Structure 1
Amino acid sequence: MPSSTSLPSSWQYDVPTSGSTRLPPDAGYAKALTNQGYSFEAAVADLVDNAIDAEADAIVVHFLRADARIVSLLVLDNGRGMDDAGLDRAMTVGRRRDYGGHALGMYGTGLKAASLSHARSLTVISRTRRSRAAGRKLTAEGIEDGFRCDTVEPAFAQQQIDVYDGLIEWQGTIVRWDRVRAFETVAPGQSEQFLSKAISRLETHLGLYLHRFLSRGLKLDIAVWDVATGEETDHISVDALDPFGYKLPGRAGYPKKFSASVEGVGQVGLEAHIWPPRSNLAGFRQIGAVHDRQGFYFYRNDRLVQAGGWSNLRSPEGHLALARVAVDLPDEVNDVFSLTVKKDGVEVTPAFTLGVHEAVDAAGAEWGSYILDAQVAYREGTSRSNIERPSVIEPGKGLDPKVKRAVREELPLKNGEEPIRVDWVALPEGQFFQLDRENHIILLNRDFREDFNDGRRGGANDAPVTKALLYLLLQDCFGLGRWEKRRADRIEYWNNILFAAVQAQRERRNRIDY
């Protein structure tokens, strides 16, 4: 290939054209649209992004169950909503809308591509303060049939809004997935296990990638609703999983702010962090393998779009496991940083890595000093002796997610053991709890449920203090071989004392009420 200095004077950088032809997409585009490689968590996160862009401050991801099967998924928000014209624009395949400077959306394909990657049917129902409830339905078959989009019956759209009037009062949107491929492959007897794992992964993903919004007050919940009984069977609040949320840094003087001069962009800030060694905090341990989470954390408009990796700057290594760097991408469109359509990674040109190599902080310290400090902090941490805490069986369903997270942060978990559940059930008179050791369940006497829920019925993760205390008392009674008489006697006198305590609590409350 000739060098730039040897190009002839007649060289044309732009290829000349003599006309143009409009080529609409073929109906086969539907297959490409539904095969974008979105993970389930990334697809749902894309829908949540749209809700945030619509100025929602409360969002619920709702799994619907019927006859022991998972049938649909809904994402509900109390944002500004859309009228008929807005719905038509949102559901037009290939149409890119104008995004504001701080919007999380970029390409205009997320709603359709993310949804149809997992569901054969996408329905969007919405209303604004000035328009009635309206809806549109898009299916893979409809796209193949000339990009057909169906109009939802107005009465049905209003009925769906009414079901969720606790969230959508004057305005809001419901995005609904039906015929979800993953749900259709789950056998009735496996739905509980599938939901538990799916919700756990989703909670982690949303908590991490949207942690800045959650820390500022965004209310984001995940719930399970039984359409047959009309009851909510599970409900958790998603908490922020801050990948920089340590209490004290692993090295004095950190975090440090470096500045990299990047050609084509200008100055790019690099906030360099060093985690404390051996941390069990959720933001360090529970967002994936520690080895994979070192490196750059790119943010676009406060939304995390890449969680770790050195972006061709260097290879990951064990001695850099504590090193994490926050980078807020420039607002202006540029050729150096390219965000993936799924918003799960950033491609950078060599201009960025060259700039990082030469980055300095305010005191003139070079980028290489940060790498050395992170390596030293890791080596010193591995050489320190720590008090070993006992391993415990993982807490499971019935315990509040905040309790489960605290246990995982504070104590090592035993491998190969089923999590311990806590259920309210009918028990004989005089018993506060029983153990189902075979199935790893702590059974609580449901006659006392209201006593621990201020007179209310409570939900799946109710009475968190009571359940947490019982878990800590009883977790070592599971996963054992021989059941010792001394242990059985301990369970008996704990039960008797706790039964007396709950009776005393009930009598005291009755006296106060009287």
Structure 2
Amino acid sequence: MTDDWQFEVPTTGSKHLPPDARYMEALSSQGYGFEVAIADLVDNSIDAGARDVVIHFLRDEDRLVSLLVIDDGKGMTEEELDVAMTVGGRRDYASQALGMFGTGLKSASLSHASAVTVVSKTRRTRAVGRRWLMERAVNGYQCDIVAPDYAQTLIDRYAQRPITWQGTVIRWDGVKNFPRHGGGGQTDRYLHRTINRLGLQLGLYLHRFLAREDFNITIAVEDVNTGTEYMNFGVEPLDPFGYPVPGHTDYPRRFDVALPTMAPVALQAHVWPAKSTLDGYKAVGSVLERQGFYFYRHHRLVQAGGWNNFRQPDQHLSLSRIAVDLPAAGGDVFRLTVKKEGVDVSPEFIAALDDARDANGRRFVEYIDDAETVYREARKRAGTSRKAVVGPGKGFDPAVREAIEDELPLLPGEDPISIRWQEMDNGNFFEIDRESRTIGLNRHYRSAILGGRRGGLNDAPTLKSLMYLLLHQVFEKEYSGSREKDNLQLWQSVLVSAARAELERVGDDD
């Protein structure tokens, strides 16, 4: 038996197999989050040398109509724009460019809008534009040519803000997650939530650029009929390493990872101070998500936290963060995801971490021990030796989950406790399902407890927090003893009485 089959496959020629037009649908279904998609467009603006980028929400009274990203970069000629709008079109990226795959503009835009229009102008060429309309894109890759007069009109609309002589405007129409009906304050609530998340995303992943004096991102909201500007603010950098004083006097410290296939990679190891309330610490995911590696590519953060199979997340390592600037040529060791929100690392890198050392010969694994020690000592100084618990999950407001995870160590490998409103025929206030790790709340009392306000998945955060504190121990035991059963009955009786009183108050108000 030979091993020839491993190396050579005989062929008799080749055949051209172009992609089906429905590939556009696949391109728009890559799971781009809204904030990640906008960040991808801003990356293009940075690559174009932009100093100012404006993210502009346009509304018609209570209805959101369009979203635009405008920059004062070098702009594109008609030929360059055709390449930018071609599916899989590749240009020659500069050595420090943030773009990589040639798909970001199309996939990011069409993931969230039914149409994307791009208008651009250089110093020496007229304004030109192209539009992808999904209905036409899936019918043979038909890309519309924007009328030159309209292209210039759109450029002129943003003259001096930020476009002067050159720049690019990207316009989304038919944005999928815009509220369909803006009445009742829905549009205002949507803008508040979305702009807050967008500001945090851009502030974090582009914090090194935003820290420069020559680069700004502005988020604005304008009424297209009256010209009234409802909001206009600059995005602030959110430095995940921006503590005033480190949590350990020996850090930050550089460790070098020796790799057989490429030059050594530097790790800048940090220990955050315990109990920090700074946004740079608190805004980066949960306690378990915000620890670990922070990978940068050309000064753009591409992964915020995570251990990449080096170890499991651990409550005791919540102060540990390591900055890694990826080499220009990552080879097979570092592979960036298409959406630039994560890095796949090879087993070669993970294995080399055990032998990574600083200039004095100290090993990287000693840093892990130091970060854990800082956390444990901070707990002791606070007089806490709290027992590990099963954490909260679905139904709890993210701020509540974060506070609990900050204050209590979590049992590793345990599914979290969910809480939800459900129908109950017995008049109880709550029910416990050990198997599904769920606390059920009687939907009959929901409206009264919410004071008539509209509910949602994470509503009633105060009540749900108290229910968690009362009941989490039930899920940490195999069975309930007589004393615990008596307590459950006591709580049930008191809560039912309180909920009925709330119902009576609502009835009296009516």
Class of the TM-score when normalised by the shorter of the 2 chains: 0.7 to 0.9
Deviations 1:281-320 (A, max 9, x none): 1100122213211000001111000000000000000000
Q: Does residue 83 of structure 2 align to residue 89 of structure 1?
A: yes
Give the partner amino acid of 1:206. Answer: L
Partner of 2:409: none
SS at match of 2:289: helix
Structure 2 residue corresponding to 1:236, chosen from 214, 233, 238: 233
Give the partner amino acid of 1:183. Answer: F
Structure 1 residue corresponding to 2:258, chosen from 258, 261, 265: 261
Partner of 1:168: 163
Structure 1 segment 2-401 matched on structure 2, within 5 A: 8=3, 10=4, 12-166=6-160, 167-189=162-184, 190-217=186-213, 218-385=215-382
Give the partner amino acid of 1:237. Answer: G
Q: Is the 8 A contact 2:58 2:65 kept in 1?
A: yes
Mapped partners of 1:215, 1:18: distance in 2: 57
Q: Is the 8 A contact 2:179 2:187 kept in 1?
A: no
Mapped partners of 2:286, 2:2: distance in 1: 50
Deviations 1:349-379 (A, max 9, x none): 1001011111000000011110110001111
Return closer, same or farther for 1:186/1:384 CA change in 2, 3 Å cut-off.
farther
SS at match of 1:290: coil
Partner of 1:434: none
By how many angstroms is 1:231 displaced? 1.7
Mapped partners of 1:253, 1:7: distance in 2: 58
Partner of 1:430: none
By how many angstroms is 1:280 displaced? 0.7
Mapped partners of 2:51, 2:272: distance in 1: 31
Return closer, same or farther for 1:348/1:333 CA change in 2, 3 Å cut-off.
closer
Mapped partners of 2:259, 2:282: distance in 1: 32
Give the partner amino acid of 1:161. Answer: I
Give the partner amino acid of 1:164. Answer: Y
Give the partner amino acid of 1:203. Answer: G
By how many angstroms is 1:58 displaced? 0.5
Mapped partners of 1:272, 1:317: distance in 2: 17
By how many angstroms is 1:276 displaced? 0.4
Deviations 1:248-281 (A, max 9, x none): 1000120010011123223111110000000111
Unmatched tracts of structure 2, length 5 or more: 384-405, 407-450, 452-510
Unmatched tracts of structure 1, length 5 or more: 1-5, 387-411, 413-437, 439-514
Partner of 2:502: none
Mapped partners of 2:109, 2:99: distance in 1: 15
With the length of structure 1 as denominator, give the TM-score of the two structures: 0.72
SS at match of 2:344: strand
What is the root-mean-square deviation of aligned Cα atoms in Å? Answer: 1.9
SS at match of 1:254: coil
SS at match of 1:305: strand
Give the partner amino acid of 1:168. Answer: I
By how many angstroms is 1:98 displaced? 1.8
Q: Is the 8 A contact 2:258 2:356 kept in 1?
A: yes
Q: Is the 8 A contact 2:179 2:190 kept in 1?
A: no
Deviations 1:183-207 (A, max 9, x none): 1545433000000000000000000
Q: Is the 8 A contact 1:122 1:176 kept in 2?
A: yes
Mapped partners of 1:110, 1:52: distance in 2: 14
By how many angstroms is 1:113 displaced? 0.2
Q: Is the 8 A contact 2:302 2:343 kept in 1?
A: yes
Mapped partners of 1:199, 1:301: distance in 2: 26
Q: Is the 8 A contact 1:255 1:274 kept in 2?
A: yes
Mapped partners of 1:7, 1:384: distance in 2: 68
Deviations 1:88-134 (A, max 9, x none): 11101122222111100000000000000000000001100001111
Mapped partners of 2:364, 2:24: distance in 1: 47
Mapped partners of 1:76, 1:206: distance in 2: 15
The number of residues matched between the two structures is: 384
